[in-house]
Structure 1
Amino acid sequence: MVQNFVSTAEMSRDEWLEARRSGIGGSDAAVILGFNKRKSPFQLYLDKTGGPLEETDNEFIYWGNVLEDVVAKEFQARTGKRVRRMNKMLRHPEYDFMTANLDRVIVGEKAFLECKTTSAYKVGEWDGEDIPAAYLCQVQHYMAVTGFEKAYIAVLIGGNKYVWKEIKRDQELIDIMIDREKDFWENHVLAEIPPEIDGSDAAVEFISHRYKENPGEVVMLDSEKEKIIEALDNVKAEIKALKELENKYTNQLKMSLETASEGLTEHYKLTYKTINQTRLDSKKIKEELPNIFAKYSNTSSYRKFGYKKVN
């Protein structure tokens, strides 16, 4: 299998992130299949259609990049295999929206190495033959693009535990992924039709920006929207009940501390300390120094959402 490719050797990180918008990469595949807990298909849609680029100063990303070479060198030491960089963004020869950025390729094999770092809290996800589903999707996506029959993944866990595993090509999973990715790319990204809205910050920002105008007209909504309102009512009632329960438990613990600033149990440490805050009294400034208040005030507008039962 021969792929089209774009050289990434001289790209800055921002240029690389911009290039990723031209297709679906390995980490995107996990989002589309629902295995990424930190990102939704709606957020991915915004990424691919002109949303803000990923932050480049993220510490997790930075150290992941720094330690990639360490993980790759250790893989060579433990396996006796040789690896080399491939500074290319590959494209599937048939489905050109599918892209791959391989960490390393294995010299003398039709295989590649994916390098990872993770926290000690994630060690259980790597027990035995286990591999986190998001990473499995990423690796199988890369095998789909390259045509390779196997891959290796190596991970440094908590800075002091090293694991590497071989992964065989799973054509059944690849076929499912291709269908789902094709649907997402053609019926959402290219068609400019977002997938189902979610509760992410990206979705909130998108709606606030896109529908910021408020000419004042009234529209009629269908019965499905009434079901959503009823569901929202139920959620709010649950939140209220949980908030009251939270307050109850918090108050019981405060009462147990009385005037103490700290309390200890076998597994927990409680704190109940006095915090001093200094804030400007805007009401008083407005009354006594109206010119100063006017000079340093600004007016912003936003749309407030609400609902009530009318019949």
Structure 2
Amino acid sequence: MVGRYGSAPGQRHCRGYLPRSAEDVVTAGKLDVPVVLPAGASQDDWEFARTFGLGGSDVAAAAGLNPWKTPFQLWLEKTRRVEAEFDEVATERMYWGHVLEPVLLREWDNRHPEYVLTGGEGVYGNRDHTWMLGNVDGLAWEYSGELAGIVEAKTGGHRAVAEWAEDDVPVHYVCQVQWYMHLLGAPRTFVVALLDTNTYLERIIDRDDELIADLVDAATEFWDHVQRDEPPPADASEITRRALARWPAVPGETVELDPLWHKHLARRHELSEQIKALESERTGIDNRLRAEMGQAEEARLDGEKVATHRAPAKPSRSVDHEAFAVERPDLYALYVTERPAGRRLTYATTTARRDQQ
């Protein structure tokens, strides 16, 4: 053997780690699992393949257990109505996750000489359900050739530390690795994580067939919505609202609502009136407190601080975009980025009293 990090022709890991293939290490370690996209495929091919099924990172969202993506948003993406969208923070987080993944796999490998670590063969599938997909970070093998488990590498900032406390693992990661264990028939997953740049953690998640059955049921129900091109119920989250705002409109198209919407719109108007009354009451309390404080910057009750009334540390600033574009079009084009605005829901009927959202 030449070290613990040999590489085989064609063996590829999408984030840059090139461990040996299973055939090079253990001749009995071939998985009897179909590969729908081989290792070495381009990132574009990998992203395209994901639109035809649910991968491990999709399952928690399909089951309503992902804090950053709802089933409705996932449906919009899988039916290609909108593209997956990430803000700068999420993009940066994913980039460093990719960069640090081979470092974590290498560290896990060094700490566990009892196993042989290899990369996966690509995107795995399921013979009976071709929409079930999975792309693992690594595979841990016994020297006998038996699959010991899957290896998954995760990263997170300081806010993620609490989610991993007391041997916990964030629920969306648990869903992800249970999905992989279902596809590959693995008995466990070794999770290695680096949090807040210097907190190294390891967790072992055993296969849970009851949880897998629940995830398969939820994923099957969700994928049925995709195949029928019918959306799942829209939830009340801000995530779903933003996703629906990005759903492109067909100019001039009109939809006739079910008569049941008379009830829904009346209820919305009732809620709007209640909200206005409550907001007015709250504003009255705020103003009475401001008046009570007078020139004071801080208010205390029973010796404890309850409120402050201070000017912002920095003055507010605004830019006259129209004047800027006319007077300095060169700088405007250089520094101002314009994106299509999301659609805005505007109520125009008497029942809704022109409420806007």
Query: Aligning the two structures, in what range does the TM-score lie when normalised by the shorter sequence?
Result: 0.7 to 0.9
Answer yes or no: is the 8 Å Cα contact 2:190–2:205 preserved in 1.
yes
Q: Deviations over 1:175-227 (max 9, x none)?
A: 12112212221x21111111113442122232x515x4256x9x46323x233
Distance 1:249 1:77 in 2: 59
CA distance in 2, matches of 1:251, 1:87: 67
Once the two structures are superposed, what CA deviation does each residue of 1:141-197 show, in whole Å capped at 9, x if it has no partner?
001100111111111111111111111111111112112212221x21111111113
Q: Which stretch shows the higher mean deviation, 191-200 or 84-93? A: 191-200
Out of 202, 205, 208, which is 2:246 matched to?
205
Specify the SS of the correspondent of 1:167.
strand
Residue 176 in structure 1 maps to residue 214 in structure 2: yes
Give the alignment partner of residue 34 of structure 1, picking from 55, 64, 67.
Answer: 64
Contact 2:290 2:309 in 1 (8 A): no
Q: Which residue of 2 aligns with 1:226?
A: 262
| Structure 2 portions without partners, runs of 5+ | 1-30, 298-304, 327-340, 353-357
Instruction: Identify the residue that residue 275 of structure 1 maps to in structure 2.
Output: 316
Q: Does the 8 Å CA contact 1:92/1:98 hold for their aligned counterparts?
A: yes
**What amino acid maps onto 2:44 in structure 1?**
D
8 Å contact from structure 1 (residues 2, 93) kept in 2: no
SS in 2 for 1:60: helix
1:277 maps to a residue whose letter is S
Contact kept in structure 1, 2:38 and 2:121, CA below 8 Å:
yes
Query: Residue 183 and residue 67 in structure 1: after superposition, are their counterparts in 2 closer, same or farther (change >3 A)?
Result: same
Query: 2:132 aligned with 1:98, yes or no?
Result: yes
* Structure 2: distance between partners of 1:220 and 1:173: 39
Contact 1:82–1:107 (CA under 8 A) maintained in structure 2:
yes
Identical residues among aligned pairs (%): 27
Distance 1:75 1:35 in 2: 28
Match of 2:349 in 1: 307
The offset of 1:119, in angstroms, is: 1.5
Partner of residue 4, structure 1: 34
TM (norm. structure 1) is: 0.77
CA RMSD in angstroms comes to 3.5
Q: State how many pairs are aligned.
A: 284
- What's 1:141 paired with? 179
Matched-pair contact (CA < 8 Å) for 2:269–2:351: no
Q: For 1:71 and 1:254, locate their aligned partners in 2 and report how far apart those are by CA, in whole Å.
A: 57
More off after superposition, 172-181 vs 98-107: 172-181
User: For 1:245-271, what per-residue CA distance to the aligned partner results, in whole angstroms no more than 9, with x for missing partners?
Assistant: 3796499579969699xxxx7999965
Counterpart contact for 2:35–2:121, Cα < 8 Å: no
Q: Quick one: structure 1 residues 164 and 302, their matched pair in 2 at CA, closer, same or farther if it must change by over 3 Å?
A: closer
Is 1:83 the counterpart of 2:117? The answer is yes
* Counterpart residue type for residue 222 of structure 2: F
**Structure 2 contact 192–200 (Cα < 8 Å) conserved:** yes
* CA distance in structure 1 between the partners assigned to 2:291 and 2:190 by the alignment: 52
- The 8 Å contact of residues 29 and 137 in structure 1, kept in 2 or not, is answered as yes
Change (3 A) 1:221 1:47: closer
SS at match of 1:29: helix
Question: 1:17·1:53 contact (CA, 8 Å) conserved in 2?
Answer: no
Q: Which residue of 2 aligns with 1:114?
A: 152
Which 10-residue stretch deviates more, 38-47 or 197-206? Answer: 197-206
